[in-house]
Amino acid sequence: MSANDNPGDLSELPGLLNWQFVDISLGGIGVFVNLFMSLLLLSTSSLRKEFLLFALMTVGDTANSLGIGLMGIDRLQIYKETLETGVFKNQTPWNCAMKPFNGVRIFGNMLPPTVQMAMAIERIMCVCFPLFYRNVYSKAEKQIAAACLLLSVAVVAAGFAISWHLGYSTLVRFDCGRKATFSKPYTTFIYFFESIGYILALAGTSLACLRILAMQAKDKRSAHLKKIKCYIAVTLLSTLLVAIPNIESILHAYLIYISNEISRTVVWANATNSTVNVIAFCLLNSKFKQHIKIACTRSVRTVQIASSAVVKPLK
């Protein structure tokens, strides 16, 4: 998910400028979709209770989309200034860390895979250990969500601590990529965590699905399959669009040079994943659609009752 544009000279900047508009557009779409879903899930008690982990995932995808959009805006300004002055102005790690997009993106890279792993474990517990799931695990969803959130915040804080330690003494690239801002080892950890998290989540949901298919009771099997299919779709999309492309970022960091064209498509794939995740979940989760229908029906009835209860003013 390398986001470092690497212009060799000023002649490459006009092309890089155009790429930033794509970052801004994809990030903006992701923010709109995920923020809307986050507000809907967190403001509706029945949805919040049933889909707390999914709501938390949309918060992470909102952060990732926002970070990519802000990165596009920041680099658009940098490249325009560079074209005007003809000078590439290097930065320090701490100056780069103060740019909002870096911290926001790290949070958006950490939270979704963490939540998806938690969702996969939840399905495994439900299918393979139903008694433990009913008596213990299902009652600890808030604590699990809090743990996912705290882990993500802690990793972001560690990144800022590294950047603060590097301080103002080191000069880094002018575009403030994550390797320049937080160090190469830290950024590599983010790539590995994100990739392994999504792959493990896909493996876990696939394992739960195989266990469901082995069930004898058709009614129970059908109920589990309705829920697991959206989990598989989300984890598969994340693996294809984020985990596998992250290999490019690791290779670029340590082994071989990767062209800007390939690096940029990796960023776009990551931004796309943050949007299609929520769409896939909503379309494939029958229970979610049922909750939405019930909520809409109640809203319509409330409006009808309120309208019929209006008292006409006396003449």
* Sequence spans of domains, the chain: 90-292
* Residue whose C-alpha is closest to residue 1's, from 202, 184, 192, 242: 242
Query: What average pLDDT score do residues 304-312 get?
Result: 56
Which two structure tokens, joined as six digits, stand for 63?
């952060």
Q: How many CA atoms lie within 13 A of 120 on its CB side?
A: 22
The pLDDT, as a whole number, for residue 300 is 57
More confident residue, 117 or 6: 117
Cα–Cα distance between 313 and 315 in angstroms, integer? 6
Band (4; pLDDT cuts 50, 70, 90): very low
- Kindly report, residue by residue over 250-291, the tens digit of the pLDDT: 776 666 666 666 777 888 999 999 999 999 988 888 788 887
pLDDT in tens, 85-116: 887 788 899 999 999 999 999 999 999 999 99
DSSP string, 270-306: HHHHHHHHHHHHHHH-HHHHHHHHHHHHHHHHHHHHH
* pLDDT attached to residue 47: 84
| pLDDT of amino acid 253 | 65
pLDDT of residue 168 exceeding 70, the answer is yes
Task: Tell me the average pLDDT of the chain.
Answer: 86
pLDDT of residue 260: 67
Q: Which pLDDT band holds residue 313 (cuts at 50, 70, 90)?
A: low
| Whole-number pLDDT of residue 39 | 92
Of 48-52, 194-198, 218-222, where does the model show the most confidence? 194-198
Which residue has tokens 């008690």? 45
What does the pLDDT read at residue 1?
43
pLDDT at position 50: 87
Nearest-angstrom CA–CA distance, 91 and 170: 8
Distance CA(314)–CA(190), nearest Å, equals 68
CATH code that applies to domain 90-292: 1.20.1070.10
Residue with tokens 């989540």: 201
